[in-house]
Amino acid sequence: MSGQPFMKIQNSAIQELDSVVVRFAGDSGDGMQLTGSQFSVVTALEGSDLSTFPDFPAEIRAPVGTTFGVSAFQINFGSVEISTAGDEPDVLVIMNPAALKVNIGNLRKGGLIILDEGSFNIKNLKKAGYEINPLDDDSLSQYDVKRIDITKMTVEAVKEFGLGNKDALRCKNMWTLGLLLWMFGRKRQTIIESLEQKFASKPELAEANIAALNAGHAFGETAEMSYALHRYHVNRYKEEAGTYRTVNGNQSLSWGILAGSQLAGLKLVLGSYPITPASPLLHTLSGLKEFGVVTFQAEDEIAAICAAIGASFAGGLGMTTSSGPGIALKTEALGLAISTELPLIVVDIQRAGPSTGLPTKTEQSDLYQAVWGRNGDAPLVVLSVSNSTDGFDVGIEAVRIATKYMTPVMILSDGYIANASEPWRIPDINDYEPFPVKFHKDPEGFHPFLRNTETLARVWAKPGTEGLMHRIGGIEKDYNSGHISYDAVNHQKMTDVRKAKIDNIANDFPLQKVSLGTEGGKLAVVGWGSTSGAIHQAVKRARNDGMDVSHIHLRHIWPLPRNLEELLKSYDKVIVAEMNAGQLNTLLRSQYLLDTTLLSKVTGQPFKIQEITDAIIENLGGIK
Amino acid sequence: MSGQPFMKIQNSAIQELDSVVVRFAGDSGDGMQLTGSQFSVVTALEGSDLSTFPDFPAEIRAPVGTTFGVSAFQINFGSVEISTAGDEPDVLVIMNPAALKVNIGNLRKGGLIILDEGSFNIKNLKKAGYEINPLDDDSLSQYDVKRIDITKMTVEAVKEFGLGNKDALRCKNMWTLGLLLWMFGRKRQTIIESLEQKFASKPELAEANIAALNAGHAFGETAEMSYALHRYHVNRYKEEAGTYRTVNGNQSLSWGILAGSQLAGLKLVLGSYPITPASPLLHTLSGLKEFGVVTFQAEDEIAAICAAIGASFAGGLGMTTSSGPGIALKTEALGLAISTELPLIVVDIQRAGPSTGLPTKTEQSDLYQAVWGRNGDAPLVVLSVSNSTDGFDVGIEAVRIATKYMTPVMILSDGYIANASEPWRIPDINDYEPFPVKFHKDPEGFHPFLRNTETLARVWAKPGTEGLMHRIGGIEKDYNSGHISYDAVNHQKMTDVRKAKIDNIANDFPLQKVSLGTEGGKLAVVGWGSTSGAIHQAVKRARNDGMDVSHIHLRHIWPLPRNLEELLKSYDKVIVAEMNAGQLNTLLRSQYLLDTTLLSKVTGQPFKIQEITDAIIENLGGIK
Amino acid sequence: MNKPVEITKLSPKDFETDQEVRWCPGCGDYAILKGVQMALANTGARPENTVFVSGIGCSSRFPYYISTYGFHTIHGRAPGFATGIKLTNPDLDVWLVTGDGDGLSIGGNHMLHVLRRNVDLQIMLFNNEIYGLTKGQYSPTSRPGLKTPSSPYGSVDAPLSPCVFALGAGARFVARGIDTSLKELPITLARAKEHKGASFVEIYQNCIVYNDNVFGEFTEKKTAQDTQIHLKDGERMIFGKDIKKGLRFNQDKFALEVVILGENGITEDDILIHDEKNRHMAFMLCEIEAPEYPAVCGVIYCNPSESYDHSVTAQIEKVKETKKADFNALLRSGRTWIVD
Amino acid sequence: MNKPVEITKLSPKDFETDQEVRWCPGCGDYAILKGVQMALANTGARPENTVFVSGIGCSSRFPYYISTYGFHTIHGRAPGFATGIKLTNPDLDVWLVTGDGDGLSIGGNHMLHVLRRNVDLQIMLFNNEIYGLTKGQYSPTSRPGLKTPSSPYGSVDAPLSPCVFALGAGARFVARGIDTSLKELPITLARAKEHKGASFVEIYQNCIVYNDNVFGEFTEKKTAQDTQIHLKDGERMIFGKDIKKGLRFNQDKFALEVVILGENGITEDDILIHDEKNRHMAFMLCEIEAPEYPAVCGVIYCNPSESYDHSVTAQIEKVKETKKADFNALLRSGRTWIVD
Ligand SMILES: Cc1ncc(C[n+]2csc(CCOP(=O)(O)OP(=O)(O)O)c2C)c(N)n1
Ligand SMILES: Cc1ncc(C[n+]2csc(CCOP(=O)(O)OP(=O)(O)O)c2C)c(N)n1
Ligand code: SF4
Ligand code: SF4
Ligand SMILES: [Mg+2]
Ligand SMILES: [Mg+2]
């Protein structure tokens, strides 16, 4: 709802809001991720559009009460189209002093703080590094602070279940959730059910949590006046009809690639090695054995990609997943997949670098590595995922391209959308056109580098096929026989054909569309990947304000869409917005000699809408 | 001498030549590399300028007589400046049918062939794939063929030493060398000495080889008339005064880096893993223990670079050497060196890719990998070596930059200059200004990421120093304390400072010079690395022919020289010539938005002068 | 492959390719190639169901010379590729060819894990104690002091014993052969093929160019009977031209020793009986080295357990039995809501 | 460092840093940290001459908490870095901290070779049989059947035994400890430090979050005496609350067995005497596992040979003695000629 005067409301009336950003923040042990996702589920079920952003610490379990142990979950929901988790929270839920310290800087001026006063004791204040209790000075004077002793009230509420102190305090998050549900007029039933399910074997915990939830809810009712609490209403968002669920970027991508393998009629074989934030793909696919998916947790990233390439050699669909440092390790083997022209899906869930960097923070800084990061002239296809739901279609597209053209396809996603959830209109797999792979069978004139004259793809002949025994490898191959060749002219020819094959795939890509706005005009903001929501909102607002700006968002990073040059050149000015030091920018400049303007952000945090808005205004000379 | 009418000479007179290209070709077992390098030594000692190109097969010892077992050695020498091993041989020395088959295509029309008729037997012809003996049809009619039964005459010449047949035949190369020495009026003494040295423990072999050498020489004298042989004279080249030797690219680079470490006052620690064509650097430095050089043959390329980084952490100069596929494996660790800001020398002797590619062939296709091939925003310095002697200065420059700015420096050389030799005016190490490293010693206000305000280099404090104990790693560091930091603003700041540090190094580089020609004009040919000789000659010739073309050759690939943009924009047209599919071209276009023309060659073979000449003429519209 | 095919027995020659073999004349690889072709023919292998996977090195050129499917991959990584192939199609018979550099230097980790996981492969490690293809640098199995281009003053690395390493990695089948022992090698390889799980076979291979005769001490035909012992499960470890030497476990030294039957009261009963399934014995047999001991050849350890590819496949099949693969249902799992 | 410094003995506290320790409350790493700090203090280590090198993992955060020099590198590669450090400055005392994932999964090859080469390091492998930092996937030491996020139906991988692997790699010092055994651990670590060469110490470490109590079988304080054996060189391997249990070598089974003194005529003489230098015995001791056998702790194998860094340095020094380092002469070696 950023922009709406959130706090200026009449007492006791239910205030109608277009959208609102709520951020739950507490200690890692306070269960903020659970609280946030439960709140999201209810919000989703009641039909608001939404976007979430789990923001957890790098440590598994940092010491209680420290600032680096703070875990937060942000949700932006509304009756209008939501496409980011929101620039600044309107409501901040604070479970301890450390959470306040870490999160206050980002709260909208005038925003609402609901905090657990009971946790603001000397010990916790000290751990958070507060010399003076911020509740005691005027440091929070610009906000609307609701001091509630959630600790005490929770303990009170669950007393009857005879829990230990630790278990009792663990119910604080449900108490808080109850209060929030009251505030936003959301139902409790789904949560009660899921608590009963979760604690099926420990009914006293289920009961205590439910009691806390109810108590928090009841508190809203009764304390409305004394604490000057208000209620808000966020309407349903008018979405396309259909069945919906929430999904995050890693889920949708896992499912998309699996869908692709099913449409291609291939066994999916994932070789992977755990790494943040890519591990969930391995986890998801490990659980889908009923689809015949093979998952191989290899000893390292190199063995992982090698197994995937081996799988493709054997006639399966090889796939490997990792993040920047792990993708780096796959470089050499990727060259072999390119040289042997085998289909392969490589997923890079980017995180902040260089090196180990900030493993739990987001960035888009692996584009260079994806497009250019190999020895030799080694072109491949690079696609990108733009939001939490997009992975499904990108996954399918990647498999289609990889198998049709016999090439590795690299998919770039990032830590932000990997974990962020959005509502998703669930597709019907039967609506997708299958693209079954036809393995080569005919021994007549066979050699492994026989090419389809149109796609330039080589034939795929799998071991087990009679009469097609052949040997391939990373040494240059003769164009006409597939045997090893050290011939000079042949090497040029093979280099050319590898390049031509990939370049030609642009003709199989759809023309680049304008996501929002017009073809041609004063200004275009070009983005790729997870920046889509922020750019979309900023451009939408700017256009509403009458500015001549359009949004172009790339899914196809390499080869670039065949009309992109013309399209970009139809604007007076082009901003390239990305979460790195200017990688797509370099790519576009090198291809089109276009004098773009770079909007770069490298903080490990997603773009704020406002940052893009500022750039738009600046680039339009402050004039609309 | 290309261009000179080599064959149109008067009988029996000694013909004066400006330059000549001789190619020795035979079976791997025929000792062609030895013959070629001995001929080079004598040629060098007698003061001609020269350039050599050893061209050996990928197999260790391919089966005798096969085409893929052919080994060749080409030398271009002259009284004029020589800068490549020559486009086409003027003289082809052929030891067996396979050698003829492989090499004939490249001989200059009208060129001279000296061949061992004795080896053109049915067995050898068949192995080479000849259905008809090429000596019996008119396939060689455009050349001046001297059929000499070298086999027989060698056996004859060494008969008295009672060698077995195999050993006797091994002397064929010396017989041939003797003949060539006669042809070009070169002295035998040095070779005789080296044969005596080589076979010190087997005097009969020494004597036999010498006898063969003398016999070949004598044959020239006596058969001059009957075989219509001619003698030629190539004068001394007027070089700068000094002491000279021949050196190849791997030698000069090894010595340059060692020199750099000496000038910096650091122990050189090489971590490496053998790979063609980079292994000779490991071999050379392993033999230089008297300089305190530590060489560590690691279990793989990853351990190799990690050991090098560890060495730098400990206060040594870490260095690692490899070729494309091995460099790919170093990617992740290189990110750590960038993140921890340690000095490091990474040498990439490029070979033809992708993947295993053509290990013994040359290419310049790792530029993308060097400049852009990493996860995260991870800038470093990239230098390149332009010829066989240049490595010395590049090596020193790399060490100076690495230690002054605390950064990894990647040096790109390639398989061509790695093995090719040229005469080198040996420098005096005392003429180089030392740049001793000052390790940080002062505990006052110390933290490991304290920066020099001018260079932006961080301090280098080595273990063993009291009071400076510190811990570093690949997680992002706080700008102000060096501790781990997950802070968003700090990450931006650190990313910016890493970039600024590297960008600023351009100010420490000399301004880009025009290698040949003028600043500004109709056309510039831009190159980097081992193409320098071919471009130089082509531009020189074109300028002699009155064309307005200049040669610009880059040593500094990243950051680019600070005047390069202006310089390039001073020409109407810019050709970028490189042995890859256009990598420097992409870089320049992205940086300067300059509409360059690419001259790409990806055959595993160096450029011919003529290929560049053709491009110059074409780009000048055929007019001078 | 469903129609009944008439299986004609193939000969070793049927496993040759049209590619010219490009090893140095006299290289031990030639003999091994012949041995493998014999083993394939003897065991009735089908070319279309057989895959040879290798890394990089002279030895790793092997697949080009066998008329089956083949994948010449990258340096040291063959186990990863082989695992992927086997997991995708467990019916394929997959052989892995590697060298002491490829398999134990850069590829040591993959070798470790493929053995630990027990992927059903035949792994042949051609040990020539040198890097052949890169022209003769010392390898992790080279002897201390060896002078090579990268160790001009002699190597100071302690060498690894491939079989001891394999046992340490948890291998369930460990054997050893000699390139030119063409009587025994095909038999050992047939045993390897028969064994379900990772079969590790070290083959002493002579590199005539860079490390000639390094195994001469015990490969010399004339003295072979006295310098080699060929193990047979369940039989006493007796060897020697006169069949008079034997291996005894000396409990005091807690070590094996070579004894002579009839000397110092030694009788047959003192000689250890080879037990293929005993890991402790296997360790000892792998550790002993010439010249103090005979070179131990044949199957040293064979103690099968379920292979990795089998377990993975079985787990998938078991899940399939209880869960239906319904993609639309998968997408609709968890909380959903309807907008209409 | 040339001026005489007054060496004041440091206490474990002196090895603490100002960085907040960021492991989960209750993690076994805390106890190990304490044990290491004790060992450093006890052995008179100097912070400025000590370097801790680690890879990536919970365990690998270790260097941040020790007030020496430290390098937190990348996943699995710590041995490479440590080797480089030691070759550059052999006077430094270098410790390596790794986990079962870092050191045996991605880093298995480097571990193999650093042990084989015998680089003078203290290597502590924190074995919690899980990937802690990435939230609980199974590791190469995890037990079969373990359900984790990446093995929801149970792991089918066969586990590796770190100590057996280390011996197979040629380690010259192999020991084992338990995180919370703070009496024994510092002593074992002191032995490791004293040993010149690569000292491999596996430490059983409890990951309270993802693999709690996996070693409970033998770490339970109450029953520890009966479930653990602490080796002493030259002494009989007797253990148990009543000092009545012992390890005997059964020649028929060719294996170790637990026997009870006094039962079935077993006397002290039947019990094996621990010989730190016997590799065969070491293999057996590393292989036996709870619950059938006691958990074997302390120094299992210690058989020093020249360390790699020492050999490398010595070779350089030897060359220096005979060859003068003259750079200009080097450039002028071989054939030269003069142009004037
Ligand atoms: C990544 C990579 N590193 C290094 C090399 C160079 N290389 C090729 S083969 C080889 C060693 C081969 O030794 P071994 O495995 O013993 O095989 P052999 O030639 O002795 O049969 C090396 C270092 C390479 N091809 N790729
Ligand atoms: C190249 C790379 N791959 C993967 C990761 C992710 N990763 C970090 S730690 C770890 C495993 C840690 O396990 P272990 O070594 O057992 O340490 P623990 O956390 O259990 O102490 C993994 C897979 C990484 N950081 N870098
Ligand atoms: S170099 Fe050695 S191993 Fe390689 S082919 Fe030649 S003899 Fe065989
Ligand atoms: S996840 Fe496990 S190993 Fe890691 S800090 Fe927590 S308890 Fe320790
Ligand atoms: Mg070898
Ligand atoms: Mg672990």
Residue indicated by tokens 């040990």: C127
pLDDT(B10) > 80: no
CA distances from B44 to B601, C14, D135, D329 (A): 31, 54, 66, 19
Report chain C residues touching chain D, CB-CB < 8 A: 105-109, 112-113, 116-118, 140, 153-154, 156-161, 164-170, 249, 251, 254-255, 275, 278-281, 283-284, 287, 305, 308, 311-312, 315, 318-319
**What's the confidence (pLDDT) of residue A8?**
44
Among A144-153, B53-62, B446-455, B577-586, name the one with the lowest average pLDDT: B53-62
Q: Which chains touch C (3 or more CB pairs under 8 A)?
A: A, B, D
Ion ligand 5 nearby residues (CB, 5 A): C 99-101, 128
Nearest Cα of chain B lies from the Cα of C50 at a distance, in angstroms, of 24
| Binding site membership of B325 for ligand 1 (Cβ less than 6 Å) | yes
From D125, D134, D203, mutation site for ligand 2 pocket: most ligand atoms within 8 A of C-beta: D134
All structural domains of chain D: 12-214+306-315 (3.40.50.970)
Q: Could you tell me if the CB of B277 is within 6 A of ligand 1?
A: no
Whether the per-residue pLDDT at A7 is higher than 60: the answer is no
Which two tokens mark B207?
């004597």
Q: Which of B59, B60, B61, B275 to mutate to test the pocket of ligand 1 (most atoms within 8 A of CB)?
A: B275
Give the neighbor-by-neighbor strand order of the sheet with A471-473. A471-473, C69-72, C50-54, C93-99, C122-127, C199-204, C173-178, C295-302, C228-230
Tell me: pLDDT of B196 over 60: yes
Strand order in the sheet with B408-414: B294-297, B268-272, B317-322, B344-350, B408-414, B381-384, B556-558
Considering chain B, what is the average pLDDT of its residues?
94
Per-residue pLDDT band for A623 (boundaries 50, 70, 90) equals low
Mutate to test the pocket of ligand 1, among C133, C141, C179, C205 (most ligand atoms within 8 A of CB): C133
Residue B321 has pLDDT above 70, yes or no: yes
Three-state DSSP class for residue A148: strand
Find out whether the beta carbon of C206 lies less than 6 Å from any atom of ligand 3: no
Give residue D119's pLDDT.
98
Q: Determine contact: C56 vs chain B, CB below 8 A.
A: yes
Q: Which residues contact C5 (CB under 8 A, 6 or more apart)?
A: A466
Q: Tell the burial category of D157 from Cβ atoms under 10 Å away from its Cβ (0-12, 13-18, 19+).
A: buried
Q: Kind of pairing, strands B14-17 and A571-578?
A: unpaired
- C21 CB within 6 A, ligand 3: no
Q: Is 0.80 topped by the overall pTM?
A: yes
A418 within 8 A of A278, measured Cβ to Cβ: yes
Chain A CB contacts of B353 under 8 Å are 335, 374-378
| Residue C145, pLDDT above cutoff 60 | yes
pLDDT category at B9 given cuts 50, 70, 90 is very low
Residue C262, both tokens: 């009839």
**Dist. CA A581–CA D258, nearest whole Å:** 65
For chain A, what percent of residues have pLDDT higher than 70?
98
d(CA B359, CA B341): 32
Q: Is the pLDDT of residue D292 over 80?
A: yes
Question: Are the beta carbons of C134 and B276 separated by less than 8 Å?
Answer: yes
- Mean pLDDT, to the nearest integer, of A207-236? 90
pLDDT in tens, D37-84: 999 999 999 999 999 999 999 999 999 999 999 999 999 999 999 999
**Which helix (DSSP H) or strand (DSSP E) does residue A576 occupy?**
strand A571-578
**D149 and A289: CB-CB below 8 Å?**
no
Average pLDDT score over residue span B73-100: 95
Mean pLDDT of A216-231: 87
Q: Distance between CA A102 and CA A106 in Å, rounded?
A: 9
Residue D140 has pLDDT above 50, yes or no: yes
Residue D150 burial (CB count, 10 A) = 25
Q: DSSP secondary-structure letter at B606?
A: P
Q: pLDDT tens for residues B347-388?
A: 999 999 999 999 999 999 999 999 999 999 999 999 999 999
Tell me if A68 and D22 make a contact (CB, 8 A cut-off).
yes
Q: Whose CA is closest to B26, among B114, B103, B95?
A: B95
Q: Are A547 and A571 in contact (CB under 8 A)?
A: no
- Over residues A197-218, the mean pLDDT reads 93
pLDDT at A253: 98
pLDDT one-digit tens code per residue, C257-295:
999 999 999 999 999 999 999 999 999 999 999 999 999
Say if D19 is an interface residue toward chain B (CB within 8 Å).
Answer: yes
Residues of B in contact with A580 (CB under 8 A): 377
Mean pLDDT of A320-338: 98
Q: Classify residue D8 by its DSSP letter.
A: P
- Mean pLDDT for the stretch of residues A544-570: 98
Computed over its alpha carbons, how large is the radius of gyration of chain A?
27
- Here the ipTM equals 0.96
pLDDT category, B624, cuts 50, 70, 90? very low
Distance from CA of A616 to the nearest CA of D (A): 39
Report the separation in Å between the CA atom of C102 and the middle of ligand 1, taken as the mean of its atom positions.
6
What CA–CA distance (Å, rounded) separates B172 from B184?
Answer: 19
- A259 CB neighbours in chain C (<8 A) are 327
**Which of these, A235, A167, A234, A178, lies nearest to A202 by C-alpha position?**
A167
Provide the 3-class DSSP secondary structure of residue C252: coil
Distance from CA of residue A482 to its chain's centroid? 41
Taking 90 as the threshold, does the pLDDT of residue A87 lie above it?
A: yes
User: Which of B330, B375, B592 should we substitute to test contact with A (largest number of A Cβ atoms within 10 Å)?
Assistant: B375
pLDDT tens-digit readout, B467-514: 999 999 999 999 999 999 999 999 999 999 999 999 999 999 999 999
C20 and chain B: CB distance < 8 Å anywhere? yes
- pLDDT classification of B62: cutoffs 50, 70, 90: confident
Give B12's pLDDT tier (boundaries 50, 70, 90): low
* pLDDT number for residue B623: 55
Ligand closest to the CA atom of residue B302: 1
Nearest CA to ligand 4 atom 8: D27
* Residue B447: burial class (beta carbons within 10 Å; 0-12, 13-18, 19+): middle
pLDDT, position C194: 98
Contact B244 D91 (CB under 8 A): no
Residue B180's nearest CA partner among B236, B144, B118, B232 is B232
By the 10 Å C-beta count (0-12 exposed, 13-18 middle, 19+ buried), D177 is classed as: buried
All residues of chain B having their beta carbon less than 8 Å from the beta carbon of residue C133 are 60
Would you say the CB of residue C126 lies under 6 angstroms from ligand 1? Answer: yes
**CA B171 to ligand 1 centroid distance, Å:** 32
Contact B32, A460 (CB under 8 A): no
Percent of chain C with pLDDT over 70: 98
Nearest to B281 by CA among B324, B257, B250, B238: B250
Nearest C-alpha of chain B: how many angstroms from D274?
34
- Report residue C11 as tokens: 């000969």
Q: How far is the CA of A578 from the centre of ligand 4 (A)?
A: 35
According to the model, what pLDDT value does residue B223 have?
84
pLDDT(D6) > 90: no
What pLDDT was estimated at residue A570? 98
Judge whether residue A132 has pLDDT over 90. Answer: yes
| Ligand 4 contacts CB of residue D83 (under 6 A) | no
Q: Does B1 score more than 90 pLDDT?
A: no
* Percent with pLDDT over 90 in chain B: 88
Q: Which residue has the tokens 């026997």?
A: D259
> What pLDDT digit, counting tens, does each position of D245-268 carry?
999 999 999 999 999 999 999 999
Q: According to the model, what pLDDT value does residue B302 have?
A: 98
Q: Hey, is A374 helix, strand or coil?
A: coil
Regarding the beta carbon of C29 and ligand 3, being less than 6 Å apart is answered yes
